[in-house]
Amino acid sequence: MNFLSISEIKFSNKIAFLLVLIAYIFSIWFRYYYFEWASSIDLFILNGTLMINNVDGYYYASGAKEILNNSHVVGNLNPYNSFPSILTAYIVKFLPFSLDEVILWMPAVFGSLVVIPLFLIGRSLKNDILGFCSALIGGIVWSYYNRTMVGYYDTDLLIIVFLVFIIWSIVEYL
Protein backbone atom coordinates (compact mmCIF):
# COMPACT_ATOMS: atom_id res chain seq x y z
CA MET A 1 0.00 0.00 0.00
CA ASN A 2 2.98 2.30 -0.39
CA PHE A 3 1.53 3.79 -3.57
CA LEU A 4 -1.31 5.33 -1.54
CA SER A 5 0.97 7.22 0.82
CA ILE A 6 0.94 11.00 0.68
CA SER A 7 4.14 12.85 1.37
CA GLU A 8 3.97 15.37 4.17
CA ILE A 9 4.04 19.00 2.99
CA LYS A 10 2.94 21.49 5.61
CA PHE A 11 3.39 25.26 5.42
CA SER A 12 3.29 27.81 8.21
CA ASN A 13 -0.08 29.14 9.29
CA LYS A 14 0.56 32.45 7.49
CA ILE A 15 1.29 30.71 4.19
CA ALA A 16 -1.72 28.42 4.71
CA PHE A 17 -3.96 31.44 5.30
CA LEU A 18 -2.58 33.07 2.15
CA LEU A 19 -3.28 29.90 0.12
CA VAL A 20 -6.87 29.78 1.39
CA LEU A 21 -7.30 33.47 0.58
CA ILE A 22 -5.96 32.92 -2.95
CA ALA A 23 -8.34 29.97 -3.47
CA TYR A 24 -11.27 32.02 -2.11
CA ILE A 25 -10.55 35.02 -4.33
CA PHE A 26 -10.08 32.71 -7.33
CA SER A 27 -13.45 31.07 -6.63
CA ILE A 28 -15.25 34.43 -6.46
CA TRP A 29 -13.42 35.73 -9.53
CA PHE A 30 -14.48 32.65 -11.48
CA ARG A 31 -18.11 33.26 -10.54
CA TYR A 32 -17.85 36.87 -11.71
CA TYR A 33 -18.08 35.65 -15.34
CA TYR A 34 -21.85 35.17 -15.13
CA PHE A 35 -22.28 38.66 -13.70
CA GLU A 36 -20.31 40.18 -16.57
CA TRP A 37 -22.24 38.20 -19.18
CA ALA A 38 -25.73 38.77 -17.73
CA SER A 39 -25.14 42.46 -16.99
CA SER A 40 -24.96 43.18 -20.69
CA ILE A 41 -28.53 41.89 -21.24
CA ASP A 42 -31.11 44.57 -20.47
CA LEU A 43 -33.87 42.04 -19.77
CA PHE A 44 -31.91 40.72 -16.77
CA ILE A 45 -31.73 44.13 -15.08
CA LEU A 46 -34.43 45.41 -12.72
CA ASN A 47 -34.12 48.68 -10.79
CA GLY A 48 -30.47 48.94 -11.82
CA THR A 49 -29.54 45.53 -10.37
CA LEU A 50 -29.05 42.19 -12.05
CA MET A 51 -31.91 39.85 -11.14
CA ILE A 52 -31.33 36.46 -9.55
CA ASN A 53 -31.85 33.47 -11.78
CA ASN A 54 -33.93 30.90 -9.90
CA VAL A 55 -37.38 30.75 -8.38
CA ASP A 56 -36.27 29.38 -5.02
CA GLY A 57 -34.24 32.53 -4.53
CA TYR A 58 -37.31 34.72 -4.72
CA TYR A 59 -39.01 32.43 -2.21
CA TYR A 60 -36.24 32.91 0.39
CA ALA A 61 -35.87 36.60 -0.48
CA SER A 62 -39.56 37.14 0.29
CA GLY A 63 -38.93 35.77 3.79
CA ALA A 64 -36.00 38.17 4.21
CA LYS A 65 -38.15 41.04 2.99
CA GLU A 66 -40.84 40.21 5.53
CA ILE A 67 -38.23 40.20 8.30
CA LEU A 68 -36.85 43.56 7.17
CA ASN A 69 -40.30 45.12 6.85
CA ASN A 70 -41.61 43.40 9.98
CA SER A 71 -44.62 42.42 7.91
CA HIS A 72 -45.05 38.70 8.44
CA VAL A 73 -48.65 37.53 8.40
CA VAL A 74 -49.44 34.34 10.31
CA GLY A 75 -50.42 31.68 7.82
CA ASN A 76 -48.33 33.21 5.03
CA LEU A 77 -46.17 30.51 3.45
CA ASN A 78 -43.06 32.66 3.03
CA PRO A 79 -39.99 31.23 4.76
CA TYR A 80 -39.96 33.84 7.50
CA ASN A 81 -38.05 31.56 9.91
CA SER A 82 -35.66 29.93 7.43
CA PHE A 83 -31.93 30.36 7.95
CA PRO A 84 -31.23 31.87 4.48
CA SER A 85 -33.96 34.46 4.99
CA ILE A 86 -32.77 35.37 8.49
CA LEU A 87 -29.10 35.58 7.45
CA THR A 88 -29.97 37.69 4.42
CA ALA A 89 -32.10 40.06 6.48
CA TYR A 90 -29.26 40.57 9.00
CA ILE A 91 -26.74 41.22 6.24
CA VAL A 92 -29.05 43.83 4.67
CA LYS A 93 -29.79 45.37 8.06
CA PHE A 94 -26.16 45.74 9.18
CA LEU A 95 -24.28 46.30 5.91
CA PRO A 96 -24.78 49.10 3.37
CA PHE A 97 -26.25 46.86 0.65
CA SER A 98 -29.76 46.53 -0.69
CA LEU A 99 -31.72 43.28 -0.55
CA ASP A 100 -31.33 42.88 -4.32
CA GLU A 101 -27.54 43.23 -4.12
CA VAL A 102 -27.25 40.80 -1.21
CA ILE A 103 -29.30 38.04 -2.80
CA LEU A 104 -27.34 38.49 -6.03
CA TRP A 105 -23.85 38.21 -4.50
CA MET A 106 -24.50 36.02 -1.45
CA PRO A 107 -24.14 32.72 -3.36
CA ALA A 108 -20.70 33.68 -4.67
CA VAL A 109 -19.45 34.98 -1.33
CA PHE A 110 -20.80 32.16 0.84
CA GLY A 111 -20.51 29.39 -1.76
CA SER A 112 -16.82 30.15 -2.21
CA LEU A 113 -16.25 29.45 1.48
CA VAL A 114 -16.12 25.76 0.54
CA VAL A 115 -12.43 26.28 -0.19
CA ILE A 116 -11.71 26.53 3.55
CA PRO A 117 -12.77 23.01 4.57
CA LEU A 118 -11.31 21.58 1.35
CA PHE A 119 -7.94 23.09 2.21
CA LEU A 120 -8.27 21.92 5.81
CA ILE A 121 -8.94 18.34 4.66
CA GLY A 122 -5.62 18.45 2.79
CA ARG A 123 -3.98 19.93 5.87
CA SER A 124 -5.43 17.12 8.01
CA LEU A 125 -3.84 14.67 5.58
CA LYS A 126 -0.58 16.58 6.16
CA ASN A 127 -0.32 17.89 2.61
CA ASP A 128 -1.11 21.58 2.11
CA ILE A 129 -0.48 21.42 -1.63
CA LEU A 130 -3.13 18.70 -1.93
CA GLY A 131 -5.51 20.90 0.08
CA PHE A 132 -4.74 23.98 -2.01
CA CYS A 133 -5.29 22.13 -5.31
CA SER A 134 -8.53 20.60 -4.05
CA ALA A 135 -9.69 24.04 -2.88
CA LEU A 136 -8.95 25.58 -6.29
CA ILE A 137 -10.75 22.81 -8.16
CA GLY A 138 -13.54 22.14 -5.66
CA GLY A 139 -14.50 25.80 -5.47
CA ILE A 140 -15.26 25.96 -9.19
CA VAL A 141 -16.21 22.41 -10.13
CA TRP A 142 -19.04 22.46 -12.71
CA SER A 143 -22.04 21.27 -10.72
CA TYR A 144 -21.10 23.16 -7.56
CA TYR A 145 -20.43 26.30 -9.59
CA ASN A 146 -23.90 26.10 -11.14
CA ARG A 147 -25.52 25.89 -7.69
CA THR A 148 -23.49 28.75 -6.18
CA MET A 149 -22.89 31.19 -9.02
CA VAL A 150 -23.76 34.86 -8.79
CA GLY A 151 -27.54 35.15 -8.75
CA TYR A 152 -28.35 31.55 -7.83
CA TYR A 153 -29.65 32.39 -4.36
CA ASP A 154 -30.72 29.15 -2.69
CA THR A 155 -29.94 27.04 0.37
CA ASP A 156 -27.02 25.33 -1.42
CA LEU A 157 -24.75 28.27 -0.67
CA LEU A 158 -24.91 27.36 3.02
CA ILE A 159 -25.76 23.66 3.18
CA ILE A 160 -22.93 22.33 1.02
CA VAL A 161 -20.32 24.43 2.81
CA PHE A 162 -21.57 23.19 6.21
CA LEU A 163 -21.48 19.57 4.99
CA VAL A 164 -17.90 19.87 3.78
CA PHE A 165 -16.96 21.36 7.16
CA ILE A 166 -18.54 18.30 8.79
CA ILE A 167 -16.53 16.02 6.49
CA TRP A 168 -13.37 17.90 7.47
CA SER A 169 -14.30 17.46 11.15
CA ILE A 170 -14.63 13.72 10.65
CA VAL A 171 -11.31 13.51 8.78
CA GLU A 172 -9.61 15.57 11.48
CA TYR A 173 -11.12 13.40 14.22
CA LEU A 174 -10.00 10.19 12.57
Distance between CA 25 and CA 125 in Å, rounded? 24
Maximum mean pLDDT: which of 43-52, 74-83, 164-173: 164-173
Kindly state the average pLDDT of the residues 128-137. 95
The percent of residues above 90 in pLDDT, for the chain, comes to 75
Phi/psi region, residue 107 (left: phi>0; alpha: psi -120 to 50; beta: rest), is: alpha
The pTM of the full predicted model, rounded to 2 decimals, is 0.89
- pLDDT at residue number 37: 93
Output phi, psi for 126, to 5 deg: 65, 35
pLDDT band at 10 (very low <50, low <70, confident <90, very high): confident
Q: What's the pLDDT band for 3 if we cut at 50, 70, 90?
A: low
Confidence bin at 11 (pLDDT 50/70/90): confident
Is pLDDT above 70 for 1?
no
pLDDT of residue 76: 76
Region 83-109 average pLDDT: 95
